[in-house]
Amino acid sequence: MPRFWQRYQALDLPAPAPKLGAMFPIRDHNPSQKTPYVTYALIVVNIAVFLLTLPAMSDNRESMNLLYHWAMIPARISEGEAFYTLLTSAFLHGGAMHIFGNMLFLWIFGDNMEEHCGRVGFLAFYVACGVGSGLIHYLTAPYSTVPTVGASGAIAGVMGGYLLLFPKARVDVLFIFIIIFKIFPIPAWIMLGFWLGLQVVNGFGTDASVAGVAHWAHVGGFAIGFLLTLPGWLRLGGTGFWNRTHGHPDHEPVPYKLQRSSIPRVSRNRR
């Protein structure tokens, strides 16, 4: 293998710091009225690829070989090779929580974007955001030897488009702080804006060439999705479209039984 890959093998990434709290979406209140076949297909393909590559990822030598050929390694792109990995890397994931988080976000936000774009249009949109986010990450660290994997760049693009079209759509968010669990609905613009702000802050706070998370790929994918959606939003009337739909998908919300409820606090047992 090339010399830069040997350098990667010696790279020891620091473990992420433990977090006391977390907040992530679990559903939106306006699922699409049409079956989102492309969104479902993308979820199935991502999970299938993850399961097929799981044995190789559990073996150090095989995982190195898999990542070298299919993950996006900026240093290889700089050498003028493996441009196809800008796409293939978006279907690889590094672990169960990695793919679970990505597929959860795709399931929540993908259906409404597919309904807006149409099936073929949404697939092209998703691929463009995935490839574009990979290019953004490459530009921030063109000589990095760290393999980049995951669908989060493409899904960030879906989120960027969703923010422009449906900023006031209600999203149920699960908030976890140590031993406190609570579900509450918030407008999409707050949840997505908070998520984007974290990516920007973390992007400035880490070295993209060795970071364990490609924050600028997330920011780039989000911006690409927003910009690709902008012409369609303008054709719909821009702010006039928001006035007609009140910033929500153009159909009634689904009445969830637990829409306004919360999971009670769980106290620790003392012995």
Residue 26, pLDDT score: 83
Q: What is the pLDDT of residue 158?
A: 96
| Measured distance CA(271)–CA(265) in Å, rounded | 19
* 172-201-150-137 Cα dihedral, nearest 10 degrees: 140
* Measured CA distances, 138 to 3, 78, 216, 230, 249 (Å): 19, 9, 9, 25, 34
Positions of the chain with pLDDT under 70? 1-23, 177-181, 207-212, 251-252, 254-271
pLDDT in tens, 135-177: 999 999 899 988 999 999 999 999 999 999 999 999 888 877 6
Distances (CA, A) of 110 to 77, 78, 99, 135, 165: 29, 32, 15, 22, 12
pTM of the model: 0.82
Superfamily of domain 35-245: Rhomboid-like (1.20.1540.10)
Q: What are phi and psi of 178, to 5 degrees?
A: 60, -95
Q: Domain map of the chain by residue range? A: 35-245
pLDDT of amino acid 256? 60
Give pLDDT, residue 25: 84
At 74 the pLDDT is 93
Q: What distances in angstroms separate CA 72 from CA 33, 77, 85, 143, 153, one per listed residue?
A: 36, 8, 5, 12, 12
Model pLDDT, residue 81: 93
Looking up tokens 């996006």, which residue turns up? 72
Report the pLDDT value the prediction gives residue 7, as an integer from 0 to 100. Answer: 42
**pLDDT the model gives residue 139:** 93
